[in-house]
Amino acid sequence: MTVTSAGMPATGTAPSATGSAPAMPVSFQRRVIRTGLLGAVIALYLCMVGIVPIFNARPLVQGVISLGQAALFLSLFATGFVATRRVAESSSRLIADGAIAGGLSGVALSALVLVGSMVDVRAFMPNASPVLYGILTFNLGTVGFWIPMALGAVLGGLAGAVGLASPRLRRSLFVGLISLFALGLFAGLIRTPMLALPVDELARLLFASDGLTLIGAVVVLVLSVGLHHLQRTRRLDRQFAALPPSQRRRIQIPLIALAAVFVLVLPQGLGSFFAQVIAIVALYVMMGLGLNITLGLAGLLDLGFVAFFAVGAYTVGLLTSTAEFGIAQWPFWAAVPVAVIVAMVFGAFLGLPILSIRGDYLAIATMGFGEIIRILAGSDLMKPLLGGPRGIINIPKPIEVPPDSLLAGPNQIYYIALIGAALIAFVAWRLRASRLGRAWIAIREDEDVAEAIGINLIQTKILAYMLGAAFAGLGGAVFAALVGSIFASSIQLMVSINVASLIIVGGMGSIPGVIVGAIFLIGLPELFREFSEYRFLFYGIALIAMMQLRPEGLLPSRIVRREFQHGGGDEPPESSTSPLAL
Partner 1 sequence: MNPTPILEVDDIHVYYGNIHALKGVSLTINKGEIVTLIGANGAGKTTTLNAISGLVPSREGQVRLRGETISGVASHLIVGRGIVQVPEGRRMFARLTVEENLRMGGYTLTRAADVQAGIDRAFEMFPRLKERRTQVAGTLSGGEQQMLAIGRALMAGPEVLLLDEPSMGLAPVLVDFVFDTISRLHAEGTTILLVEQNARMALQIADRGYVIETGMIVLSDLAANLRENDTVRKAYLGIV
**Which residue's CB is nearer to partner 1, number 154 or number 443?**
443
User: Which one of the spans 255-263, 499-507, 532-540, 572-580 is the region binding partner 1 (CB under 8 A)?
Assistant: 572-580
Residue 359 has, within 13 A of its CA and on its CB side, a CA count of 2
**Which residue's CB is nearer to partner 1, number 403 or number 568?**
568
Alpha helices in 453-557 (DSSP H): 457-483, 493-506, 511-518, 524-527, 535-549
Among positions 529-548, residues that touch partner 1 (CB under 8 A) are none
Among positions 451-510, residues that touch partner 1 (CB under 8 A) are 451-457
- Provide the minimum distance between the beta carbon of 352 and partner 1 in the complex, in angstroms, as a whole number: 16
- Provide the minimum distance between the beta carbon of 300 and partner 1 in the complex, in angstroms, as a whole number: 17
Report d(CA 389, CA 48) in Å as an integer. Answer: 37
Among 255, 448, 548, 549, binds partner 1 (CB under 8 A): 448
- Nearest to 282, CA basis, from 502, 523, 529: 523
**Which residue's CB is nearer to partner 1, number 78 or number 441?**
441
Binding mask 405-444 for partner 1 (x = CB under 8 A): ------------------------------x--xx-xx--
Q: One-letter amino acid identity for 531? A: F
- Provide the minimum distance between the beta carbon of 555 and partner 1 in the complex, in angstroms, as a whole number: 18
User: Which one of the spans 218-226, 480-488, 532-540, 557-565 is the region binding partner 1 (CB under 8 A)?
Assistant: 557-565
Total residues contacting partner 1 (rule CB under 8 A)? 31
Among positions 155-174, residues that touch partner 1 (CB under 8 A) are none
Binding of partner 1 at residue 449 (CB under 8 A)?
yes
User: Which one of the spans 242-250, 411-419, 490-498, 558-566 is the region binding partner 1 (CB under 8 A)?
Assistant: 558-566
Residue 539 has, within 13 A of its CA and on its CB side, a CA count of 21
Helix (H, G, I), strand (E, B) or coil at 132: helix
- Provide the minimum distance between the beta carbon of 273 and partner 1 in the complex, in angstroms, as a whole number: 43
**Which residue's CB is nearer to partner 1, number 299 or number 317?**
299
- Nearest to 340, CA basis, from 503, 440, 499, 466: 466
Q: Indicate the helix (H) or strand (E) that contains 60.
A: strand 59-61
- Provide the minimum distance between the beta carbon of 432 and partner 1 in the complex, in angstroms, as a whole number: 13
Q: Is 8 exposed, middle or buried (0-12, 13-18, 19+ CB in 10 A)?
A: exposed
- Provide the minimum distance between the beta carbon of 575 and partner 1 in the complex, in angstroms, as a whole number: 9
Binding of partner 1 at residue 563 (CB under 8 A)?
yes
Residue 182 has, within 13 A of its CA and on its CB side, a CA count of 10
**Which residue's CB is nearer to partner 1, number 299 or number 391?**
299
Helix, strand, coil % over all residues of the chain, rounded to 5: 75, 0, 25
- Provide the minimum distance between the beta carbon of 272 and partner 1 in the complex, in angstroms, as a whole number: 45
Contact indicator for 401, 408 with CB cutoff of 8 Å: yes
| Cα–Cα–Cα angle for 483, 489, 492, rounded to 5 degrees | 100
Binding of partner 1 at residue 569 (CB under 8 A)?
yes
Report d(CA 77, CA 244) in Å as an integer. Answer: 46
**Which residue's CB is nearer to partner 1, number 22 or number 569?**
569
Contact indicator for 319, 482 with CB cutoff of 8 Å: no
Among positions 131-160, residues that touch partner 1 (CB under 8 A) are none
Among positions 288-327, residues that touch partner 1 (CB under 8 A) are none
User: Which one of the spans 192-200, 277-285, 447-455, 519-527 is the region binding partner 1 (CB under 8 A)?
Assistant: 447-455
Binding of partner 1 at residue 356 (CB under 8 A)?
no
Contact indicator for 342, 473 with CB cutoff of 8 Å: yes
**Which residue's CB is nearer to partner 1, number 213 or number 292?**
292
The string of DSSP letters for 89-115 reads --HHHHHHHHHHHHHHHHHHHHHHHHH
- Nearest to 526, CA basis, from 329, 344, 281, 343: 281
User: Which one of the spans 52-60, 77-85, 449-457, 461-469 is the region binding partner 1 (CB under 8 A)?
Assistant: 449-457
**Which residue's CB is nearer to partner 1, number 233 or number 578?**
578
- Nearest to 308, CA basis, from 88, 472, 167, 434: 472
Give the chain's radius of gyration (CA, Å): 27
**Which residue's CB is nearer to partner 1, number 104 or number 295?**
295
Binding of partner 1 at residue 568 (CB under 8 A)?
yes
Report d(CA 14, CA 32) in Å as an integer. Answer: 10
**Which residue's CB is nearer to partner 1, number 252 or number 434?**
434
**Which residue's CB is nearer to partner 1, number 12 or number 568?**
568
- Provide the minimum distance between the beta carbon of 445 and partner 1 in the complex, in angstroms, as a whole number: 4
Q: One-letter amino acid identity for 230? A: L
**Which residue's CB is nearer to partner 1, number 136 or number 560?**
560
- Provide the minimum distance between the beta carbon of 546 and partner 1 in the complex, in angstroms, as a whole number: 20
Q: Is 498 exposed, middle or buried (0-12, 13-18, 19+ CB in 10 A)?
A: buried
**Which residue's CB is nearer to partner 1, number 317 or number 437?**
437
- Provide the minimum distance between the beta carbon of 236 and partner 1 in the complex, in angstroms, as a whole number: 25
- Nearest to 13, CA basis, from 45, 51, 43, 40: 40
**Which residue's CB is nearer to partner 1, number 267 or number 351?**
351
- Provide the minimum distance between the beta carbon of 573 and partner 1 in the complex, in angstroms, as a whole number: 5
CA end-to-end distance (rounded Å), the chain: 53
The sign one gets for the Cα dihedral 472, 474, 480, 481 is negative
Contact indicator for 347, 485 with CB cutoff of 8 Å: no
User: Binding residues for partner 1, per CB under 8 A?
Assistant: 435, 438-439, 441-442, 445-446, 448-457, 559, 562-563, 566, 568-571, 573-574, 577, 579-580, 582
